[in-house]
Structure 1
Amino acid sequence: MGISIGMITVDTADALKLARWWAEALGGEIAEENEGWFVTVALGAGRPMIAFQKVADPTPGKNRIHLDLRADDRTAEVERLIAAGATLVAERSMGDGFAWTTLADPDGNQFCVASD
């Protein structure tokens, strides 16, 4: 394939604060701070980076794109993320037994955590 995801960027009023939260949540590290206006988080070789861009007016309402995270132990990871500042939005499931948890980061951006 000739195209792949290189970086996922999130608009925020405080790029450095949110980048630090996601770096901790995903086990990444701050790669570039750029004086707090565009902060990148490296997640490891072969994985896309996640970036946080300071904007004066972040998009209001529910985010149109969200991260779907996979965890070996969904319950433990959800508990860890909530303790770190995430907010529980909902527990969800599909008829075939597949379940996931929707959370929001400290800026209110929703994301999901599921297990195999």
Structure 2
Amino acid sequence: MTTPPITLGAINLEARNPAALAEFWASVTGAVPSPGGDSVYLPPAGPGGFAMFFQPVTGPRPEHQAFHLDLTVPWGSRQAEVERLLSLRATYQWDVLDEFPHVQWTTLADREGNLFCVAEHPPTDQQGV
């Protein structure tokens, strides 16, 4: 028996204000939000994109965030993308620029404090592999 391929259907987030958080992520990804009651669905912006679903908070937020999004941009465009996201009111957290030869990234937080990273990978001939 072979296992069918698994793909990511959507990233689900609880939010104090689902509509506002969906608008932020719509600006990040270029997708168009689709509200539905108290929740908002954000479809993939195109092939290779990802969907997100925002729903009202149902309980207290954990003290430690167990996972986060890693967004990848073309080599050499990370800083410009970070500046664009900061203009959308993301907040800067930290950079990791020379810890690993195969990636450098900036960690940001969205309007509700959810961490996410913007990463770039150098071309293979610059990775020293």
TM-score with structure 2 length normalisation? 0.79
Q: Deviations over 1:50-94 (max 9, x none)?
A: 111112434232321211001120000000101110001100132
| Structure 2 CA distance for aligned equivalents of residues 8 and 58 of structure 1 | 19
Show structure 1 runs of 5+ residues with no match: none
CA contact (8 A) 2:15 2:56 kept: yes
Residue 67 of structure 2 aligns to a residue whose secondary structure is coil
Output the amino acid matched with 1:11: E
Higher Cα Rg, which structure: 2
- Residues 2 and 65 of structure 1: CA distance in aligned 2, closer, same or farther (over 3 Å): same
Q: What is the number of equivalent residue pairs in this alignment? A: 114
Residue 12 of structure 2 aligns to a residue whose secondary structure is strand
Match of 1:108 among 91, 108, 113: 113
CA contact (8 A) 2:14 2:58 kept: no
Show structure 2 runs of 5+ residues with no match: 122-129
TM-score with structure 1 length normalisation? 0.88
- Residues 58 and 49 of structure 1: CA distance in aligned 2, closer, same or farther (over 3 Å): farther
